[in-house]
Each structure stands twice: as C-alpha cells, then as structure tokens.
Amino acid sequence: MLAVVEVAGSSIRFDKDIKSLLYASCGIPEYWIINMNEDQLEVFSDPKGGNYAQNRLYGPADDVTLMGSKLAVKNLLLLT
C-alpha cells in the first residue's frame, strides 16, 4: 500500500491522534487527511517508530504528488 487518504470533518482529532499512529506503525508510507473544516490537505509521511516523522499542510493553491501524478489540492477539496 502506498497511501491512505481520508476525508475528515468531525473525526479530525481521532484521525490525527489515533489513526495516524496506527497507520505509521503498519508502515503506511503516506497518510493524507482532507480536512473539510480547514479546507486543507494534511500529509503525514516517513513512518518511524510508530509515528510519522513528517507532517505537511497544503492549501487550495498548492499541488501535491501521489504515485508520480501531480494533483491540485483545490480539486481534492472539491471532492468533499
């Protein structure tokens, strides 16, 4: 598995605090949260010791890359 992508609203705290640790401990390379409350994409990456070493925030004007494909964050936010 390359990544897990979730859409979150009311579950954002659970997704960040609990699910991120679970996915990191399983060695999932990237965990993406499309945060509906903040209109942003949060990307957790580089799992080490049961946690993610990197955490980046992207806004609607940003682009991200997944599996070699460039994606506009604004388009991901429109999916919600």
CA distance 34 to 41: 5
- How does pLDDT run across 19-69, given as a tens digit for each residue? 999 999 999 999 999 999 899 999 999 999 999 999 999 999 999 988 788
pTM listed for this prediction: 0.88
Domains and CATH numbers, the chain: 3-78 (3.90.1570.10)
Strand-pairing partners, residue 44, are 31, 55
DSSP 8-class letter at 18: I
Reduced DSSP (H G I as helix, E B as strand, rest coil) percent helix, strand, coil of the chain, to 5:
25, 45, 30
Q: Rounded mean pLDDT of 6-30? A: 93
Output the pLDDT for position 78. Answer: 80
Q: Rounded mean pLDDT of 11-24? A: 94
Instruction: Answer positive or negative: Cα dihedral of 51, 15, 57, 28.
Output: positive
Output the pLDDT for position 3. Answer: 86
Q: What are the backbone angles phi and psi of residue 39, rounded to the nearest 5°?
A: 50, 55
